[in-house]
Amino acid sequence: MRVQTPPTGLRLITIYKFTKAALQVAAAVLLFYGAAHGLNARLAEFAEKLREHAVHAWSNVFAAALLRFTRSKHSLTFTAYALLADAGLSSVEGWALSRGYTWGEWLVVVTTAGLIPFEIGALMRHLRVGRVVLLILNVAIVAYLIVNIRQRRRAAASP
């Protein structure tokens, strides 16, 4: 019995999901460590100094965002937990895709498509190249998976 290898697109999405999860876990560990060792206060101090000495508009925007982020005592910890939750979801998605489960493809479709309206909203507020690339990537992933699922369903239905 010959084992079918998944299409290249599915393999790439699986690699993306596992890589994303690993990077998020690493970032969460760094944030937990930083939160335990006063990183929040240092970031707030850095943002204040940046605002005082900044001459470019982008650095003032960055400093203001950093100050908003560091106002809460537990912001680093909450961010770390959010990263771990998303890493867990990405791991489940990657695992389900690697095992060839159709529900895994639908899970990726639903979770990815669910974020597209928020990405469009963010793009409407501030047009950024990174956001455009992320939106295009997510739309491509959703479209690819839906087409892949439909093709498999048609192939299974034909005699």
Question: Which tens digit of pLDDT belongs to each residue from 142-155?
Answer: 999 999 999 988 88
83-134 confidence digits (pLDDT tens): 999 999 999 999 999 998 999 999 999 999 999 999 999 889 888 898 899 8
Residues 77 and 15 placed together within one structural domain of the fold: yes
Q: What are phi and psi of 38, to 5 degrees?
A: 80, 20
* 6 pLDDT higher than 80: no
Residue 93 lies in a domain: no
Residue 57 lies in a domain: yes
Whole-prediction pTM: 0.77
Residue 96 lies in a domain: no
Number of H helices, E strands in the chain: 6, 0
Average pLDDT (12-16) is 94
Residue 142 lies in a domain: yes
Q: Is the dihedral of CA 58, 64, 69, 73 positive or negative?
A: positive
* 15 pLDDT higher than 70: yes
Tell me the residue range of the domain where 42 lies.
Answer: 8-87
Residues 79 and 35 placed together within one structural domain of the fold: yes
> How far is residue 107's CA from residue 38's CA, in Å, rounded to a whole number?
38
Domain end point (choices 60, 87, 114): 87
Residue 63 lies in a domain: yes
Number of folded domains that form the chain: 2
Q: What are phi and psi of 6, to 5 degrees?
A: -65, 155
Residues 108 and 76 placed together within one structural domain of the fold: no
